[in-house]
Amino acid sequence: MSSSSLKNRYESWLSSNGFTLSPFHIKWHTGIFNRLFARCAHLNPRFLYIWFSAGMVFGVLAMFGSVVLLSKTLLQTLSQMMAETPEGSHEQILQVVVPGVNLPVSQLAYFFIAILVSGVIHEFGHGVAALREQVRLNGFGVFMFVVYPGAFVDLFTTHLNLISPVQQLRIFCAGVWHNFMLCVVALSFLLLLPIILFPFYYTGAGALVTEVVEGSPSSGPRGLFLGDLVTQLEDCPVWGVQDWHNCVQHLSHNPQMGYCVHTAKLQLSWSAGRAFKRLDGTMECCGNNSLTDFCFSYSNNVESKLFACLPVRKTIEASRTCRTNTDCQTDFIPSLCLIPSLENQTRLIRVKHPPQTDMLFVGYPSHLQYSVSLTSFVPRLAFLHPDLPVMLETFCKYLVSLSGALAVVNAVPCFALDGQWMLTAFLEATLSSVILERNNRELIGFFFLLGGSALLAANVALGLWMVTAR
């Protein structure tokens, strides 16, 4: 069999099965879902009319809102570019996502599945709305561009051009409307997840450790282990993952806590008063580089600043936290407030995970935060995997983020996006009685599209620069 005949058979097979191949692009088109679309389009005519009319109103508002949102995002990006440090980037509502740069490789599956689901629901909205407005649906398909998946519907253009602008708006706005509703559903599921999983998992008891980075400060014989339940960071209670993050931030942004120590223990210090400065200006009084002894600073009625080298675990194991000596004057035994003498920005943090002995963490609080993976859901039965709620939470969050982003971006009045057709239909529906010449209406639409396209392109270009260059 010749190579040309093999090529012809291969191309014939691709064509007969709806596949189209081109550089960096694979597309599959089929009509097998047309009956499903038709059934959905005729389920409840009255409800669907109200549903897609509401979607039309939402789409028009989203079209103008997306311009405001992109303008605000662009101004935020420009202000960050001019600043010396890129602080505040997490406050942006819209951010460019680059896999492997600001998107963890371990979460790529969530990312691509959420994109595909969002795209399918988007196109499902277009297809059902079109059939409801008596526009023929030729087929449905999915594609892969480079590594990004997507979906599309093939509508009969002649039918689409014959219906009124308001009917066109219902069809063009249906995609962003369904993306918005997908956000609402995913967000509702996320908020109701503790109730949905209540028969199998309980919450409010602490933060369950699901992973500890090997070699990190949180690992080791007296560190955290898979299955440990963290209930407290110093005096900050931990009822769930959000409390964990809040406590770490609180300890990071506030001065190091002190510990109430009985004065009798200070007599055990072998280097009281012998202190020297580190390079950063902080004080050290344990000169033997011991892993168990720690330098503490304190004051008494005679001297304002003294230092003592004490065994850290024995010293603070059952001690209350304090800021000044006054906080320790509740016992009959005389006590002083000892504050660990640490390098700048580092902290000594007691992590309580009963029934195990407290973990003593020394270092930057952010290292503690990112060296441990946790979940708020604790399995009721041993065979239940602790990662299942985490997977559901993560997927819902990606679905909310990406479906919302797809709604915003598609609503922008930009060439080749839904916003182009939404704007055209909107102008035809509102200006046809005011501006009689169609060419003039098209000219107005062209300038709006030009501005929207430039705004979106600027956001993408500067967003990519912020992600990759900073």
Catalogue the active-site residues: 123
Amino acid making up residue 339 = I
Other CB atoms within a 10 A radius of the CB of residue 5 amount to: 9
What is the SS3 assignment for 204? coil
In angstroms, how far is CA 204 from the centroid of its own chain?
Answer: 22
Q: Taking the mean position of all CA atoms in its chain, how far away is CA 350?
A: 28
Handedness of CA 152, 156, 159, 162 (dihedral sign): positive
Q: What whole-number distance in Å separates Cα of residue 269 and Cα of residue 273?
A: 9
Task: Output Rg (C-alpha) for the chain, integer angstroms.
Answer: 31
Cα distance between residue 269 and residue 297, in whole Å: 12
CA distance 230 to 208: 6
Q: Which residue has the tokens 């691709």?
A: 14
Tallying the residues shown for the chain, one arrives at: 470
3-state secondary structure of 244: helix
- Helix-strand-coil split of the chain, %, nearest 5: 50, 20, 30
